[in-house]
């Protein structure tokens, strides 16, 4: 087995999802290389080389990799593919953008959102919004797959000492270019990396009321999320969305406030360790998956929760 992991990064730092993907790779074999493709991304390669389990880091540094456009990334990965039995990327927006392109150019299937590795060619992945799990076997010579981060623990970011090898960039395909980006500015942790998440649904009523959740989130060091209903209603931006069509999360504690618990939302958070639901409708489906349910008006309960957290903190 020889495994290539495509690193996710922003040219400055290695993204946490890469560490989960390395863990998935270690379940396939020991010969693990990480590809860092970017521009002025030397620091990322250094970081990848220290990840426990990584044997080799390949760095492709060129201006046309700065934003990791799928067209250019795929050409690069395909050029390197022949030496590997498995090519893995995190099942993030970036991984999902690039990897099917790689698979098609190699004329192999891609396996999406792998949550368990049964053997070198057999994997488990969720279908139908996670209501059903499919065990699939690949007949292809190279297995190309995206890995769901929440299903694998993060590899240790230090302790490794992999060699860093420079690979020649492929030519710029020249058909696409980066125009700009608007990233949500927040001091809170990222949803997919947060230990605690406080999420709001349609019951929040409007975007301003999310301030109530932000207050509680800041006291808990938590990220703020939302259901699709809250996003569709325009309360918060789409990148807050937890669910099958948004982000799939599995924090230690998930607090669902004013969220009814539609199938599509449950699919995105049901693997959380502890789930709390606060909803005034005691029939809401969210209570069927909650470890602790509180039937209450959120506009009274959330400020009270904030005060109780203060008390807890004061008590030390």
Partner 1 sequence: MKILVAVKRVVDYNVKVRAKADGTGVETANVKMSMNPFDEIAVEEAIRLQEAGKAKEIVAISLGVTACQDTIRTALAMGADRGILVETDAELQPLAVAKLLKAAVEKEKPDLVILGKQAIDDDANQTGQMLAALLGWPQGTFASKVELGDGTVNVTREIDGGLETVALKLPALVTTDLRLNEPRFVKLPNIMKAKKKPLEVLKPADLGVDVAPRLVTLKVQEPPKRQAGIKVGSVAELVDKLHNEAHVI
3-class SS of residue 277: strand
Cβ within 8 Å of residue 275, ≥6 positions away: 254, 256, 269, 289, 290, 291, 292
Q: Evaluate the CA torsion angle 298, 290, 286, 195 in order and state its sign.
A: positive
Please report, as residue ranges, which positions from 6 to 65 form the binding site for partner 1 (by CB under 8 A): none
Range 202-231, binding partner 1 (CB under 8 A)? 220, 228, 231
CA 192 – CA 190 distance, rounded (Å):
6
Residue 80's Cα: distance from chain center in Å? Answer: 25
For the CB of residue 71, give the shortest distance to partner 1 in the complex, in Å: 6
Among residues 175, 187, 283, 316, which is the contact residue for partner 1, using CB under 8 A? 175
122 binds partner 1 (CB under 8 A): yes
Question: Which C-beta is closer to partner 1: that of 27 or that of 288?
Answer: 288
Q: Which of 33, 165, 17 is nearest to 92 (CA)?
A: 17
Q: Looking only at residues 231 through 250 of this chain, which bind partner 1 when binding is defined by CB under 8 A? A: 231-232, 237-239, 244-245, 247
Residue 164 or residue 309: which is nearer to partner 1 going by CB? 309
Site residues (CB under 8 A) for partner 1, limited to 81-110? 92-94, 96-105, 107-110
Classify residue 139 by burial, with Cβ atoms within 10 Å: 0-12, 13-18, 19+.
exposed
The secondary structure of residue 283, as a DSSP letter, is: T
Interaction of residue 187 with partner 1, rule CB under 8 A: no
Looking at 56-64, 127-135, 152-160, 199-207, which segment touches partner 1 (CB under 8 A)? 127-135
Please name which of 74, 71, 143, 73 lies closest in space to residue 110, comparing C-alpha atoms: 143
Q: How far is CA 35 from CA 6, 302, 316, in A?
A: 5, 45, 45
The whole-angstrom separation of Cα 270 and Cα 249 is 8
Tokens of 282: 């005691």
**Near partner 1 by CB under 8 A: residue from 184, 211, 281, 297:** 184
Q: Return the residue of 171, 178, 281, 297 that touches partner 1, per CB under 8 A.
A: 178
Least CB distance from residue 224 to partner 1, whole Å?
14
By beta-carbon proximity to partner 1, the closer residue of 158 and 185 is: 185
Structure token pair of residue 128: 């139908």
Query: Shortest gap between Cβ of 33 and partner 1 (angstroms)?
Result: 22
Taking the least distance from each CB to partner 1, the nearer of 63 and 159 is 63
Query: Which of positions 255-314 make contact with partner 1 (CB under 8 A)?
Result: 263-264, 270, 273-276, 282, 287-296, 301, 304-305, 308-309, 311-312
């Amino acid at each position: 087995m020889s495994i290539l992991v495509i690193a996710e990064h922003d040219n400055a730092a290695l993204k946490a999802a890469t560490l989960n993907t390395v863990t998935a790779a270690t379940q396939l074999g020991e010969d693990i290389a990480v590809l860092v493709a970017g521009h002025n991304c030397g620091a990322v390669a250094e970081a990848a080389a220290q990840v426990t389990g990584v044997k080799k880091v390949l760095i492709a540094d060129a201006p046309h990799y700065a934003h990791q456009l799928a067209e250019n990334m795929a050409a690069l990965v395909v050029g390197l593919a022949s030496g590997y039995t498995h090519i893995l990327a995190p099942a993030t927006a970036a991984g999902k953008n690039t990897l099917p392109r790689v698979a098609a150019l190699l004329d192999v299937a891609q396996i999406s959102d792998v949550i368990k590795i049964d053997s070198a060619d057999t994997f488990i992945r969720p279908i139908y919004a996670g209501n059903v799990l499919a065990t699939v076997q690949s007949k292809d010579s190279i297995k190309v797959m995206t890995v769901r981060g929440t299903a694998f623990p993060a590899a240790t970011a230090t302790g490794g000492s992999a060699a860093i090898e420079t690979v020649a960039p492929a030519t710029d395909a020249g058909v696409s270019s980066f125009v700009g980006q608007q990233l949500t500015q927040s001091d809170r942790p990222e949803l997919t990396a947060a230990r605690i998440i406080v999420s709001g649904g349609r019951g929040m009523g409007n975007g301003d009321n999310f301030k109530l959740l932000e207050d509680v989130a800041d006291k808990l060091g938590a990220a703020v999320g939302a259901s699709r209903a809250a996003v569709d209603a325009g309360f918060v931006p789409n990148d807050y969305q937890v669910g099958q069509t948004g982000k799939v999360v599995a924090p230690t504690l998930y607090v669902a406030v004013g969220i009814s618990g539609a199938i599509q939302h449950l699919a995105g958070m049901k693997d959380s360790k502890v789930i709390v639901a606060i909803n005034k409708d005691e029939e809401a489906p969210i209570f069927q998956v909650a470890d602790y349910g509180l039937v209450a008006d959120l506009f009274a309960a959330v400020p009270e929760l904030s005060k109780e957290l203060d008390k807890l903190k004061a008590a030390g």
